[in-house]
Structure 1
């Protein structure tokens, strides 16, 4: 199956095979959250981005890879992105990472320790693969994205609820919007090429090239 990024709750996983990494995308829960399983092709280590909901579906997703799970990265503190976190950790023993400013709220809500508190520019590893943390403040204070760049090739950006096709994520008030817009421009659009593939927390994928021409429109409308 050709990877398109279009997934539905109850539907099949979409799989993308890169040089060093396999990406699996599935949709779970009533808010149709995207969960991404990243597998290092060399050693089989696995990282799950957002144990959002439906632990049975997520455990089945792990089985599609190498069965083990080393790390769960929670992109931000909102409950729909970590409803299954406690169950997944209980079964797999995986460690948990999240943005430093959201870590306490996630730990309190899930009763699961966040052992890696992430900051902008940090490195997260899955086997032989390194991903860069991109802090995108505004949707929540501690929202983070993860960036992977193929050697000599395209970048892949997992943005949680901070960047979607058609705009940045929801914010509470103009100051939060200003912060998120600034971070998305300075830390995403100014750093990455147009062919960068964007994997959001809900819905279909996009590329930075498809969104770049709309930045001034987003700024003017304020959302």
Structure 2
């Protein structure tokens, strides 16, 4: 089946099969968050992005192979409600942005800065620090050697705009600057975007609207 990225709370995961990596996307309640399980096809090692909620759902998705790591994209509570239970069950190493780690009540074993890499199996993700939605939000870029890049943006980039900056003009300016310079500038239109809530998109679909987003201020 073709991957669409359209998932619903209580429904099945949707699986994006790349040559070296399998990406399983699942929606969890009560705030309709996305969680992403990444599996290295060569080694079967796994990494989870955002243990948002519904630990039982996430642990079923993870299965008996466990996870090597769990990355929290930012410190907002809807992205780590299941983190303590998932880490207790799997022993996974925890990662989060250096400037958000203190706001996450589960210890971050590896604080992450801009440009740092996170590896599992034969897969490497590159962190991009994006300021504005929170001080330490990170996006994770997988540069597929067999195709286009894939980026997990947390709550910093969605179809139709950047993340919520709570009507703070300075925070909005910083976030859209970071998203433009660290995501849109270096990555091609074909880049697949996996956000923290809702449907997926691509940089090509969103790039024509950057000036519009700046003009409206959100």
Q: TM-score range by the shorter chain?
A: over 0.9
Match of 1:11 in 2: 11
* Correspondence 1:117 to 2:115: no
Q: TM-score, normalised by structure 2?
A: 0.98
* Displacement of 1:67: 2.5
After superposition, the C-alpha distances for 1:79-132 in whole angstroms (9 at most, x for unaligned) are 0000000000111111100000000111xxx3x210111111111101111111
Match of 2:210 in 1: 215
Instruction: Count matched residues.
Output: 217
Could you list the runs of 5+ residues in structure 1 that have no partner in the other structure? none
2:82 to 64, 81, 84: 84
Match of 1:213, SS state, is helix
Matches of 1:152 and 1:17, distance apart in 2:
12
- Once the two structures are superposed, the pairs formed by residues 65-104 of structure 1 within 5 Å of their partners are 67-104=65-102
Match of 1:43 in 2: 43
* Displacement of 1:152: 4.4
Match of 1:131, SS state, is strand
Match of 1:184 in 2: 179
Matches of 1:67 and 1:2, distance apart in 2:
25
Matches of 1:27 and 1:99, distance apart in 2:
23
* Displacement of 1:29: 1.1
* Displacement of 1:56: 0.4
Matches of 1:152 and 1:48, distance apart in 2:
22
- Relative to structure 2, which stretch is displaced further, 53-62 or 148-157? 148-157
Aligned-CA RMSD value: 0.8
Aligned residues of 2:97 and 2:113 also touching (Cα < 8 A) = yes
Could you list the runs of 5+ residues in structure 2 that have no partner in the other structure? none
Aligned residues of 2:19 and 2:146 also touching (Cα < 8 A) = no
Match of 2:159 in 1: 165
Match of 1:26, SS state, is strand
Matches of 2:113 and 2:164, distance apart in 1:
21
* Displacement of 1:43: 0.7
